[in-house]
Structure 1
Amino acid sequence: MKTCQWCESVNISETTNTVYWELPDGTKAIEIRETPCIECHECYITYQTDETVNVIEEQLFLINTKLLEKTIQFIELLQQPRLLKRNYFDFSK
């Protein structure tokens, strides 16, 4: 059973929210709408899982971020064509 990463409550739900992300090159931040998140109904925090954070960061690292608008939906971000097939600098995999 999943629990809140902050208070360990089981009273959580999976939902979506809007996040703001700085691009890897530091040139700007973008708004990513409808991003998967966990909402805790005990401590009232809303957060992205480590998996979601990794997906966003890897995608931003592998696409041409100069083509991105200031606002994008999460699914649209994941559909952007990649310049590389995978992150060859991530040695954790």
Structure 2
Amino acid sequence: MENKYRCEWCGGEDVLEEKGNVYWELPDGTRAITIKEVPGINCRKCGMEYQEEHVINAIEDQLMLIDSKSLSDTVTYEELLNIPKILKRNYFRF
């Protein structure tokens, strides 16, 4: 089966889709949280581990749309995306 991904850093094709932990500063800058089981890419050629833009945007948008003050210090990606929104959309994304 042909791999649909190429590393965004080195262009290598030996990449794996994996889930991992990321550390994210809340939009108000008061603290950082750990988000577990976040979809990501791991390049076996250059060693870069990263999240694709659509995953980053999903996290950023959700953190802008929820009451982030009530978040615990650790949350899974799925739990984060399932938190009810208090705003309809992220008005800072154009």
Superposed displacement of residue 65, structure 1: 0.3
Cα distance in structure 2, aligned partners of 1:47 and 1:67: 27
Alignment of 1:9-88 (within 5 A): 9-88=12-91
TM-score for both structures, normalised by structure 1: 0.93
Structure 2: gaps (5+ residues) = none
Q: Give the whole-Å Cα distance in 1 for the aligned partners of 2:92 and 2:7.
A: 31
| TM-score where L is the length of structure 2 | 0.92
C-alpha displacement at 1:88, in angstroms? 2.6
Q: 1:50 deviation in Å? A: 1.0
Tell me by how many angstroms 1:9 deviates.
0.4
Moved over 4 A (4+): none
Alpha-carbon RMSD across the aligned residues, in angstroms, is 0.9
Indicate the SS of the match to 1:21. strand
